[in-house]
Amino acid sequence: MRRSFTLRELARIADVVEPSLPDAIRNAGATSPSDGMRAAVALASALRGTVSPPTSPDEFDIVDPYRRSEETYQRSFNELVPAAGRVASFLATAARMAASS
């Protein structure tokens, strides 16, 4: 559970902790892209709980579209895409930083 996040939770934490990535990567001795991503997840895990929660718990959850209307599928997609993009950017940044060190 230490390294399990909902997608939206990790995206929210990434917004706050990304400025700390260079130090986390250096302290972890990360020199490869995969090491960098592991350091990023460890940083997010260590700082979980220090990031202010969203105003609504619904901001962590994604609507389940199973057997529901096309509008519900679209809503689920709209909730997932920004969070997935943010997490991908966070991990890619960590991978690049580690590879260039």
Residue 58 has pLDDT above 80, yes or no: no
What local confidence, expressed as pLDDT, does residue 3 receive? Answer: 64
Residue 59's pLDDT is 78
Q: Distance (Å, rounded) from C-alpha 93 to C-alpha 33?
A: 9
Q: Which two tokens stand for residue 3?
A: 């390294």
pTM here is 0.88
- pLDDT above 90 coverage of the chain, percent: 74
User: What are 22-55's pLDDT values in tens digits?
Assistant: 999 999 999 999 999 999 999 999 988 888 888 8
pLDDT for 6 equals 86
Amino acid in the structure at residue 36: G
Residue 2 has pLDDT above 70, yes or no: no
Q: How confident is the model at residue 91 (pLDDT cuts 50, 70, 90)?
A: very high
The conformational region for residue 63 under phi > 0 = left, psi -120 to 50 = alpha, else beta, is beta
Q: What is the DSSP string of the chain?
A: -TT---HHHHHHHHHHHGGGHHHHHHHHT--SHHHHHHHHHHHHHHTTTTSPPPSSGGGT-----TT--HHHHHHHHHHHHHHHHHHHHHHHHHHHHHHT-
> Average pLDDT, whole number, for the chain?
92
